[in-house]
Amino acid sequence: MTYAKVTQRVLAFFVDAMILILLIAVVEALGLPVYDDLVIVDLPAGPGSGEPGKAAVPSLFGLAITIALVWGYYVGFEVSNYQATPGKIALAIRVTDLEGRRVGILRASVRHFAKFLTVLTGFVGFFMAIFTRKRQTLHDLIAGCLVVARQR
């Protein structure tokens, strides 16, 4: 098995992010309030400024729709016969289990939600792919997955 290069994974992420932004825009255009219902929240004072800030965040309903859309996108594509999102397909890589087989819904879901832990590490979990022998990120290790080059 040839493990996916970190650059392939990064580029695939950006392709998928652009697709997801368009998908969410379509959902908004169809009338589901993903980001129409922004809630203004107070932020604590920043260091040195002494002034509290404000931020606009999506409503719980909008957040739930976004989480469901992103989950459905990643998990749906990764459990399909393609074993890859459109971004991964474009970069000729796919997601497998440790034996190179297609992943199921549970493993793909664990991998997807483990990305939150990867982010909570200050993105260190993503950089692990540079240093691990099989180029695995934290969420790959948690779910028992590999991202490998597509066989021609």
For 90-122, what is each residue's pLDDT tens digit? 999 999 999 999 999 999 999 999 999 988 988
- What is the residue range of 72's domain? 6-149
> Is the pLDDT at 34 greater than 70, yes or no?
no
Which is higher by pLDDT, 28 or 35?
28
Residue 1 lies in a domain: no
Gyration radius of the chain over CA positions: 18
Closest to 17 in 3D by CA, of 86, 117, 83, 65? 86
Residue 87 lies in a domain: yes
Residue 126 lies in a domain: yes
| Percent with pLDDT over 70 in the chain | 81
Alpha helices in the chain (DSSP H): 6-29, 60-78, 86-90, 105-120, 124-131, 138-143
pLDDT tier at 89, thresholds 50, 70, 90? very high
| Count of domains forming the chain | 1
Measured distance CA(95)–CA(84) in Å, rounded? 6
What is the pTM for the complete model shown? 0.83
Residue 89 lies in a domain: yes
